[in-house]
Structure 1
């Protein structure tokens, strides 16, 4: 006899195929209840296989109850779906309200998987040091790897009189550990042909980014959890209230995490604004969504908000460049 979970999935698969015999019907259910196109979930060719993969996809993301409840509501004559949906009835809260999916655009994340992704994001971020910290923290910034030896930061981080390429140091793994001690980190210098591509400040009509080639492929460093790696630029339709995570070196301090939310999706055609905290030295930091995808490049602080350049716009810019290495960075993640 199959285990209860396997038995449930088999019954649900049969109920979905019976209640939604055509692909178009199932496609509408998925978009209405999950908010994701069915083709992003499965490309299977027959209805049983499509239902099987759909159940696995929603189950892995903690969204199976939404699928079952939505299907039962759409097909009230299906006694099978109705019976299956009853297995997801939870006790009412003390105030008499049921739990709700409040933000459809912020799905549940698997905690262990999210923690692994976060750790990989941390090690890709560095402090940009134009001179030794014991001299001054003037013009310090942040940056992050987008390829083994390519770093993304702000144009204004490199566009000043204090920028001397032979003096600049990039310091990875500069953090305060669980023992309260600051790690010195791993340092790297610029390559001889260090300037790969830039875009001027937003106030000058650009995107305020700089792509720099490092003297070593830091992204290939072996670490205890595997290769250091690098981060890709993602496209995201921003909505007010979405969470924003920024890994940064504020005021030239060891790596910090700031958490906030989107405040304005279009303060300018190329920017998004948020209320996550930043300080001088945070310029060039990656801005992440709840799935820890890079969706913006932080670059600006205002009186009551901060701003980043949308990663989508940077990708569009790079896609139009002549250099193959820059076009490669614009490829979808």
Structure 2
């Protein structure tokens, strides 16, 4: 990825507004093992130094990684987010596909992922909480998606963690990979950070999936059961939410904390015709977003399942589903089992998961 002259000028103005020389030097050192004085003339003015730095890094071909480092330092700066949105760095557009294993996710149409500027602050807050879950067992390897819901807690589907819960002796390793992202041209911005689960018994809470999830009925108005919500919450080996994020986050001395997505205070059910946004690691790929501004299509009468028209694939299980304000509304779990022309994907309303935790008297603050 390379920027043109006007883009470099705009980025220079943003950088000089966000950083003084010492802070810029610290970011280069912590995240990229670089020294600012190696790139610029010491006696030049600061704006000239920044322009020189950006031009040289742009010529070297890693300006996208540098911008990603800026975003990790200032995840909610509107000028920076708007600039990133114009470059389309936050989202890759997946190609539409058909097929896959029955009962799992499906690409439903060829609509691309989009990146509206007014979503950027919410997107920046939420995307850093999403992780790819890589599971290795004696019977094979597979992946899902999950997200932070407390300092050291991740939620995903029960069926993603099923072996860990039911046959832990078969599990060889489980890793949660955060910050795994690509630039639009396919270059790796960040290979991600792997975090293991806590030793001992990491499972905090769960609800099994329904037999109907394994072979979803055509009509959502089925006999769904309250006690079968297909979720599991696990504890990580450390409080990742309190740490910095982004490129070389383990070497950064001063940066915002990652944070988490609150699920316990959710009170609103998704409504047919409303927007839906999903952040996911489909087919083990780097983080992607899909959105449909009227994508919610149906709820069953008890509001135990919600269906929508946005694309998912294998590996998307456990992805967070949001409304247009990035309030979390559902936990994605399955797709239309039809091999030809699938018509829906499906999730668990987050209200029901929050209710289940309260009914079980399970607090995440433990």
TM-score, normalised to structure 2, is 0.54
Matched, 1:257 2:264: no
- Tell me which of 182, 205, 215 is aligned to 1:197: 205
The residue number in structure 1 matching 2:178 is: 172
Q: CA deviation at 1:136?
A: 11
**Structure 2 CA distance, aligned partners of 1:281 and 1:306?**
13
Aligned length: 215
- Residues 137, 252 of structure 1: 8 Å contact kept: no
**Structure 1 CA distance, aligned partners of 2:233 and 2:280?**
17
C-alpha RMSD of the superposition: 2.7
Q: CA deviation at 1:117?
A: 1.9
Q: CA deviation at 1:178?
A: 5.2
Secondary structure at 2:300's aligned position in 1?
coil
The residue number in structure 1 matching 2:243 is: 221
**Matching of residues 3-152 of structure 1 within 5 Å:** 114-131=119-136, 138-152=141-155
**Structure 1 CA distance, aligned partners of 2:271 and 2:353?**
19
Q: CA deviation at 1:298?
A: 0.2
The residue number in structure 2 matching 1:104 is: none
**Structure 1 CA distance, aligned partners of 2:300 and 2:318?**
20
- Tell me which of 246, 254, 278 is aligned to 2:312: 278
**Structure 2 CA distance, aligned partners of 1:168 and 1:179?**
30
Q: CA deviation at 1:272?
A: 0.7
Structure 2's unaligned 5+ residue stretches are: 1-115, 213-224, 247-254, 337-341
- Residues 130, 162 of structure 1: 8 Å contact kept: no
Q: CA deviation at 1:259?
A: 1.3
**Structure 1 CA distance, aligned partners of 2:168 and 2:290?**
28
Q: 1:137 to 1:122 in 2, by over 3 A?
A: farther
The residue number in structure 2 matching 1:69 is: none
- Residues 130, 164 of structure 1: 8 Å contact kept: no
Q: CA deviation at 1:231?
A: 0.3
The residue number in structure 2 matching 1:304 is: 343
Q: CA deviation at 1:137?
A: 8.4
Q: 1:285 to 1:202 in 2, by over 3 A?
A: same
The residue number in structure 2 matching 1:236 is: 268
The residue number in structure 2 matching 1:186 is: 193
**Structure 2 CA distance, aligned partners of 1:211 and 1:220?**
18
The residue number in structure 2 matching 1:99 is: none
Q: CA deviation at 1:218?
A: 0.9
TM-score, normalised to structure 1, is 0.59
Quick one: higher RCO (CA 8 Å, sep 6+), 1 or 2?
Answer: 2
Q: 1:223 to 1:141 in 2, by over 3 A?
A: closer
Instruction: Encode CA deviations 1:239-273: one digit per residue, 9 max, x unaligned.
Output: 22211000001111111111130011227630110
**Structure 1 CA distance, aligned partners of 2:311 and 2:139?**
23
- Residues 139, 162 of structure 1: 8 Å contact kept: no
- Residues 267, 273 of structure 1: 8 Å contact kept: no
Instruction: Encode CA deviations 1:125-161: one digit per residue, 9 max, x unaligned.
Output: 00000139xx998431000000110000000001146
Instruction: Encode CA deviations 1:92-130: one digit per residue, 9 max, x unaligned.
Output: xxxxxxxxxxxxxxxxxx956x41221111110000001
Q: CA deviation at 1:236?
A: 2.0
Structure 1's unaligned 5+ residue stretches are: 1-109
Q: 1:279 to 1:178 in 2, by over 3 A?
A: closer
The residue number in structure 1 matching 2:352 is: 313
